A = this chain, B = another copy of it.
Amino acid sequence: MIKSLLLSAKRYAPEREIVCGNRRYDYRELNARIARLANVLTEAGIGAGDTVAVMDWDSHRYLEAYFAVPMIGAVLHHVNVRLSVDQIGYTMAHAEDRLVLVNDDFLPIVEELADRLPTVESYIQLSDAAEAANTSLKTLGEYEALLASTSTDYLFPDFDENSVATTFYTTGTTGNPKGVYFSHRQLVLHTLNMATTLAAYEGVSLLRSEDVYMPMTPMFHVHAWGVPYVATMLGVKQVYPGRYEPNRLVRLYRDEGVTFSHGVPTVLQMLLNCDEAKDTDLGRWKLLTGGAAPTEGLVRQMVERGIRFYTGYGMSETCPLLSLTHLTPEQAALPPAGQVALRMRTGVPISLVDLRVVDETGCEVPLDDSCVGEVQVRAPWLTQGYFREPEKGAELWQGGWLHTGDVASVDAHGVLQIRDRIKDVIKTGGEWISSLLLESLISRHPAVANVAVVGVPDPRWDERPLALVVPVEGQEIDSGTLKQHLMQYVDNGEINKWAIPQQIRIVDSIPVTSVGKVNKKQIREQLAAQG
């Protein structure tokens, strides 16, 4: 039960603070506010099994909803406000949201969608300004006013720990977003295991009682990687930064004494480049990244600034944490620069995670960091399927293992390296070639502005790689030069000769998805249509 995660902080650290904007209050008050929010929700007619959506920046309100909504037996829907308006509407209708907590900044989206959300009965406004914004929506009022109007007493019930606590949607390159969901039991287990993982290993020690936590992964993104639940259980000081603005994040780090944050590589890169970071000592910061592979340049920059840097791996379907940087004592004794390559890797599976990397025949790949296979996992906190799409859930869990769709290699220390998505890997002559690796090698040629590599059907080899290359403006390049360029990586052993694409096409542009990723499915379809 999620409510049990609240028991310790008020005993261990009743005076420690939750900070958001000008608001700061302690753990006693957090407990009182969660009870108030539960009363507001109950008075709004929300009961067990109902879904409550939140559309907000990272805030104390979001943290309160992380607890109050599941604790009354309702389901918390973290709406991904970065999706297109249509996609947001799809997810809110599909999740059957009944009540929506919406930040003034997202009112225009909801006002546009309101007619298409038949299950939504009412709205609560979340305002960071002194005056709540005007809206045509039928709202119950502003969050703080509603909280103030109700009581701090709420008797949170006991119920089946397998009840769904949270849901959110994950987007692929095709089709509609799919809803994943997590039970009380799963979130408690994920929280306890993550607390151990972040605290018990001297080589990791990212989050202990005296740390100060500030998320930089949105709270609508896989429970902000699960850390708000951990931080609250441990009773650490927490800082919620609202909308991410690099200079403000650095100022909060400095002024609030932040020691631990997590974020995707692009956010971390923006941080390092912002004005405020130039003259700030970042050496106290422990940073965890994930969601995408950090570049070597980014990691090197962080290490030079004294930041203790870790890489984790997980996905929406996995709650999320599956693996985390873990150095052997010998590796940890290396000078910081010598740890860069190690800290960029995808990490070692954490406790309670059963993880295997298997090839097409179902055999585990050798630990040579070269052979690749699909990452498949079992752990107590993985989504049991996709909401109202049982056939997709069955596919996800084929053979009793969750298929991540990620392709990885494993080194002799058991450290993972994600290489590609399985849909994009090129299966040729019984071997798998990473499309991302080929793209990375081709892009090292100075005349290449952009590149995409896909597999195309081949009668003899099953598939063969094909590259689309956009030249740097004003420069010329041809297929022969690029093949020559790739030969150096054959010579130094990075790839085999048969990995060199037979076809390299020079093009003007490469199709991307709505969220800006290379749309390899579309490329493959276009190539197929061309014959």
| Chain B CB within 8 A of A350 CB | yes
CB-based contact B199/A203 at 8 Å: no
Q: Is the CB of B234 within 8 A of A200?
A: yes
Closest to A210 in B: B202
Contacts of A348 in B (CB 8 A): 11-12
The answer to whether B201 and A349 touch across the interface, beta carbons within 8 angstroms, is: no
Please indicate the chain B residues that have their CB under 8 angstroms from the CB of A4 in the complex.
351-352, 354, 380
The reply to whether A8 and B350 form a contact with Cβ atoms under 8 Å apart is yes
The one of B7, B189, B414 in contact with A192, judged by C-beta atoms closer than 8 angstroms, is B189
Asked if A5 is at the interface (CB within 8 A of a chain B CB), the reply is yes
- Stoichiometry, as copies per complex, reads 2
**Which residue of chain B is the closest to A205 with respect to CB atoms?**
B208
Chain B proximity of A54: nearest CB distance (Å): 25
Within the complex, the shortest CB–CB distance from A337 to chain B, in Å, comes to 24
Which chain A residues in 171-194 approach chain B with CB under 8 Å?
188-189, 192-193
User: Closest CB of chain B to A271's CB: distance in Å?
Assistant: 26
Interface residues of A in 1-48 (CB under 8 A from B): 4-5, 7-8, 11-12
**Interface residue ranges of A201-237 to B (CB < 8 Å):** 201-203, 207-210, 233-234
Known: A189-B189, A201-B208, A202-B209. 6 other contacts (CB 8 A): A4-B352, A5-B351, A8-B350, A11-B349, A192-B352, A196-B199
Supposing A7-B349, A192-B189, A351-B233 touch, asked if A200 and B201 sit within 8 A by C-beta, the answer is no
Q: Does A98 reach chain B (CB closer than 8 Å)? A: no
Classify chain A: how many residues form its interface, as a range: 20 to 34
Q: B233 touching A12 by the CB < 8 A rule?
A: no
Let me know if A61 is at the binding interface, CB within 8 A.
Answer: no
- Chain B residues near A350 (CB, 8 Å)? 8
A520 at the interface (CB under 8 A from B): no
Central interface residue in A7, A196, A326, A414, by most chain B CB within 10 Å: A196
**Which residues in B have their C-beta under 8 angstroms from that of A233?**
196, 351
Is the C-beta of A264 less than 8 angstroms from some C-beta in chain B? Answer: no
Most chain B C-beta atoms within 10 Å of own C-beta, residue among A200, A348, A349: A200
A4-B354, A233-B351, A354-B4 are known contacts. Are A414 and B196 too (CB-CB below 8 A)? no
Interface residues of A in 341-392 (CB under 8 A from B): 348-354, 380
CA distance A208 to B201 in the complex (A): 6
16 contacts between A and B (CB under 8 A): A4-B352, A4-B354, A7-B352, A189-B189, A192-B195, A196-B196, A196-B200, A199-B208, A200-B200, A200-B207, A200-B209, A201-B208, A201-B234, A202-B208, A202-B209, A202-B210
